[in-house]
Amino acid sequence: MNTASTTLGASASTQSRLMQLALAGLLGIFVIGFLGFSPMEAVHNAAHDYRHSMAFPCH
């Protein structure tokens, strides 16, 4: 009985990790794709300043 519950827990943990990775990837795409290339100058400048503060190459 313990083996079945341990296996189920490992499966749920793997699914949770995959969901976290997928959401982190979507957040990254949003930050770089939308904010970095935003036509609104204030939003673009804020993203630009943040990229510089995190040592992310942007130009």
Task: Report if residue 45 sits inside a domain.
Answer: yes
Q: Which domain holds residue 11?
A: 2-53
Task: Report if residue 27 sits inside a domain.
Answer: yes
Say what the pLDDT of residue 11 is. 67
3-state secondary structure of 59: coil
Q: How many domains does the chain have?
A: 1
Which amino acid is located at 32 in the chain?
I
Task: Report if residue 58 sits inside a domain.
Answer: no
Task: Report if residue 21 sits inside a domain.
Answer: yes
Task: Give the Cα separation of 52 and 57 in Å (integer).
Answer: 7
Say what the pLDDT of residue 7 is. 57
pLDDT tens sequence across 12-42:
688 899 999 999 999 988 877 777 677 888 8
Task: Report if residue 8 sits inside a domain.
Answer: yes
Task: Give the Cα separation of 49 and 43 in Å (integer).
Answer: 10
Evaluate if residue 44 carries a pLDDT over 80: no
Task: Report if residue 17 sits inside a domain.
Answer: yes
Task: Report if residue 59 sits inside a domain.
Answer: no
